[in-house]
Every structure is written in structure tokens, then in C-alpha cells.
Amino acid sequence: MSTRISKSRFQKGLQCEKALWLTVWRRDLAVPPDEAQQWIFAQGAEVGRLAHRLFPCGIEVAEDHLHPAEALETTRRLQAEGATVLYEPAFEFDGGFARIDILMAAGDGRWDLYEVKSTTSLKDEHITDAAMQAYTVEGAGLPIRTVNVVHLNNAYVYKGGEYDTAQLFTIEDVTEPARAFMPSVHETIEVFRRMLDGPEPVVRIGARCNAPYACEFAAYCRADLPERHPVTDLPNLSESVLHELLDLGITCIEDIPDDLWHLTANQRATVNAVKSGVPRVDAGGLAADLAGLTWPVYHLDFETINPALPIWPGTRPYQPIPFQYSVHVHSEDGTYEHREFLHDGPGDPRRPLAERLLPDLGAGGSIAHYTRYEIGVIDGLAAEFPDLAERFDAVKVRLVDLAPLIKTHTTHPDACGRWSIKYVLPAWCPDLSYADLGIGDGNTASVRYLRVVRGETQGEEAAAVLADLTEYCALDTLAMVRLLEEMRRLAAGAGL
């Protein structure tokens, strides 16, 4: 049986032939896209529609992906009628099938092809994607003059009202690299079609599972790994070392031999902690670093959105916009109080957030955060509001990152060398959990807030989202309070 290779399937096969086979024959094994991934897809579609304004007066081939034959027929009809700008036309050739984002007549019998991406830069996979499309269009009888990738321009500053699409988008001519790849398209399609006519291919897990895109079949392909302490949990594990371990039949960290010499120091410390089941703690180092804290400690966490298409004047594509913060004011005796802000009104949230944040952070005391993300948010606020810059400079002097402190002086077997708070918190403070929250991660928080801001979520549902956001962000800083208290206990030598 010969299977049609669409442009998305072509890209899937370039990343992993097994993923392509599963996409065609065992789609039921895929993990459905989560809410954040669905939002990314929706943003991409919105960006694609907006790019049509660059080439006005076009005609859209409206049939969806479930009706390829009808899309092909509509495309042929529109060409026969003399259409010069087509949106989503369909072409088939040599076993390949492609829907082109934008195709425009060049006026000399040739056509210009435009592939729209919602990224802010050109990527290698965009070249192969566009090349496969150009190959299919030319094979179907339309000569291509130029091949182009249209992507967002992250230097564009939105002024309000309708987007200035000429400034919002950047068009990059990729004709030369696309044509360099096109001769390999035929052979690649044939390889994929022969593979699809056979049994499920054997392909090792590795870097391809996440690059250039996270694979929806990863859980299936890793089903043979143990649920607890799989070797893939080793921090910064290279593909070559992963494959060496799998070749030795080693799937669990506990089974890694002591003489596997090319593990990094961090990986070796993780292996030792997992094997012993006992956390490693440098109490003296912890005590020395903790002595530098000034009390009370203000634990700070932001929630941000970074929409592909800017919402408020003065913002850019994918610019992080803080809309919420949580502050736990932590006294040296272990007690604490909570302060918070969530922008629930119209307009850009940054100014009201900044004006509330500064007094909530007090005049003195260390400001604890987890990883460097909060620094970038503060820098952005200082740049946006020069009248507050001096006060934000004073805030930055007080910042203390808890992540490197915990990373340097502790290793917990249940964290497996990972330093995200989502790993570290359940390891050191197992009674605290995000599992039962209405919102349990930052990506979901951003998407749900965006839906409220855009009016897609309203009324009681919007109120419930805001309540969930408040609970989620508060747990982030409460987690930091608890972690710091645990580090203080360890530094004092308790329980060692």
C-alpha cells in the first residue's frame, strides 16, 4: 500500500521514522496535546491568517485536512479561473501532498511561495518544510520563482489598533537553501513510503524525541523504562551515553555501574544518591551561604504571558508581560505572611503590578527567587518605567537565587539531579503538591489568563480561573518558604 506523504508527515519522518509510522498506523498511542500545546497551535493558525494581509485580495482554498481531494479540485479550478494569490492551495505530486500557506503569481508565469511560521527567527526545519512544498508545487506543473519563509519580527512594537503587518512580519528568501535540499525530496518520500508499508521500525529514543519538536509518542517509546529513576532522568544526559547504557541493558539509574567513567560529576552524584537512597547534604556550605541572608526574606514569584501577537500598545511579539506576583514575607523565626497581586482589569497589567510590587517588597531584607527568570521580569519593568528604575535597581541588589544554593550543596535521590522547583519541592517537602490544584504549571496559567484577557473566558468561569491562578502562584512562593526552612534545618545538622 502506498501512503500519501503530507508536508507535516514529511517533517515528522525527518525527525523520526518511527514517529511517522506511528502517526499513520497507531495514532491511538499518541499523547493528546495539552492545553498549552493547543494554544500554540491556535496562535500559529492566527498568525497564518494575519499574514494573508501581506498579500491582499487572495482566495482561500477552504477545504480542511479531511478533504484533500476536494482541496486539490478547488485549487485547480481557481488556477483555471486566473487567481493570482491563493491561500492554502493544495498540490500533489510523486506521493507528496502539500498545502501552501500563500502562493502568489510572479507575473512571468512563475509563482512565489510563502511559508508562514509563528516563530521570530528562521530555523533549519523551515527550510526542509518549504523545500518539500516547492518540490510538490513544481512537480504539479507550477514553476516556482522564489521560496520564502514569513515569520514574526520581535523588534516590532505594537502601537494599538490593527497590526502593521509590514512591520510585524519578516520575509526571508530561502530559495537557495530550499533548492539545495529539493533533489533529496523524491528519495526521502520513497524511503518513507517503503517504511510505512512495513512493520513498525525500530528507532532508539534520544535527542530526536524532543528536537526540533517534542514527540507525542515519547511515552510509548519509553514504556520499557522504569517509572522510578529511569536513566533518562540523569541530568544533561548525552545521547551517546544514553545509548551506551541502553546497549548494556541498563534502564534504571540504580543499575549504572560504578566504573562508567564518563559520567559528569553531577550525574555521578545523582547515581550515588539514588543507589544509597540518602540525600547528600553539605551542611557547612549551606550554613555559609544561608548566613548571607538578611531577614525578613521576601520570596518572590511572577506569572507572565508572552503572546505571539502583542495585546497592548508598547509591547512586542513574545515579550514576557507579568500579570501576577506572589510574595511570602518570611521571618527568621519561621513565621510568614502572604502578599499578592493579580491584574483582573482591562489594559496592560505592568504599571499597576509594578506600583504594588515595590511597597510589597519592603525597604530591606533579602528577596529570594528560584532561577533567574524573576531577574529578567524586573529588568523589563525597570526598562519600561524609567521613573521606577532606581527603585528596581535597589530591589535587584537584594535578590538571592535559591536554586544554585540548593544545587551546590544538596543532592536528593528523588530529584535525580533536576533543579526545577517542581522536582525539588516534592523531594524535600513531599507534603506540598501541585497535583490537586486547578492550575498546576506556569504554561497552563499563562494560557488561561490569556483566554480571560481576550474575552474567550468570561463570567463565573473567568472568576474560577483567577481564583486558581491565585492559589497556584501562592504555592510557588510558599514552596520557597518551605524549601528555605528545610535548608536551614539541614544546615543546622538536624536529621543528618
What are the chain's domains? 5-196 (3.90.320.10), 224-275 (no CATH), 284-491 (3.30.420.10)
The pTM (predicted TM-score) of the whole model is: 0.92
In this prediction, residue 495 carries a pLDDT of: 42
In this prediction, residue 388 carries a pLDDT of: 98
Longest dimension (CA), the chain: 82
In this prediction, residue 434 carries a pLDDT of: 87
Q: Tens place of pLDDT for every residue, the chain, 496 residues? A: 468 899 999 999 999 999 999 999 999 999 999 999 999 999 999 999 999 999 999 999 999 989 999 999 999 999 999 999 999 999 999 999 999 999 999 999 999 999 999 999 999 999 999 999 999 999 999 999 999 999 999 999 999 999 999 999 999 999 999 999 999 999 999 999 999 999 999 999 999 999 999 999 999 999 999 999 999 999 889 999 999 999 999 999 999 988 877 888 888 888 989 999 999 899 999 999 999 999 999 999 999 999 999 999 999 999 999 999 999 999 999 999 999 999 998 899 999 999 999 999 999 999 999 989 999 999 999 999 999 999 999 999 999 999 999 999 998 999 887 888 888 999 999 999 888 899 999 999 999 999 999 999 999 999 999 999 999 999 999 999 999 999 999 999 744 3
Query: Residues 482-496, buried b or exposed e (16+ Cβ, 10 A)?
Result: bbbebbbebbeeeee
Q: To which residue does cell 516563530 refer?
A: 119
SS (H, E, C) the chain: CCCCEEHHHHHHHHHCHHHHHHHHHCHHHCCCCCHHHHHHHHHHHHHHHHHHHHCCCCEECCCCCCCHHHHHHHHHHHHHCCCCEEECCEEEECCEEEECCEEEECCCCCEEEEEECCCCCCCHHHHHHHHHHHHHHHHCCCCEEEEEEEEECCCCCCCCCCCCHHHHEEEEECHHHHHHHHHHHHHHHHHHHHHHCCCCCCCCCCHHHCCCCCCCCHHHHCCCCCCCCEHHHCCCCCHHHHHHHHHCCCCEHHHCCCCCCCCCHHHHHHHHHHHHCCCEECHHHHHHHHCCCCCCEEEEEEEEECCCCCCCCCCCCCCCEEEEEEEEEECCCCCEEEEEEECCCCCCCHHHHHHHHHHHCCCCCCEEECCCHHHHHHHHHHHHCHHHHHHHHHHHHCEEEHHHHHHHHEECCCCCCCCCHHHHHHHHCCCCCCCCCCCCCHHHHHHHHHHHHCCCCCHHHHHHHHHHHHHHHHHHHHHHHHHHHHHHHHHCCCCC
In this prediction, residue 494 carries a pLDDT of: 47
**Phi and psi for 291 in degrees, rounded to 5?**
-65, -20
In this prediction, residue 2 carries a pLDDT of: 63
